[in-house]
Amino acid sequence: MSEPGNERSPRLSTSEAPGQRLRAFLHANIPQMYCDECLKREARLIRMDTVKRLVQSAASAGRYLRGIGTCSACKHAKTVTRAP
Ligand SMILES: [Zn+2]
Q: Give 50's contacts (C-beta < 8 A, 6+ positions apart).
A: 15, 18
Ligand 1 centroid to residue 81 C-alpha, Å: 10
64 exposure class (CB count in 10 Å sphere: 0-12, 13-18, 19+): buried
Ligand 1 centroid to residue 25 C-alpha, Å: 14
Task: Determine contact, residues 80/33, Cβ cutoff 8 Å.
Answer: yes
Q: Give all domains of the chain, ordered by start, each with its CATH number.
A: 16-82 (1.10.10)
| pTM of the full structure | 0.78
Q: Give 54's contacts (C-beta < 8 A, 6+ positions apart).
A: 15, 18, 19, 22
pLDDT tens over the chain, length 84 residues = 555 554 554 555 554 588 999 999 999 999 999 999 999 999 999 999 999 999 999 999 999 999 999 999 999 999 999 999
Ligand 1 centroid to residue 26 C-alpha, Å: 13
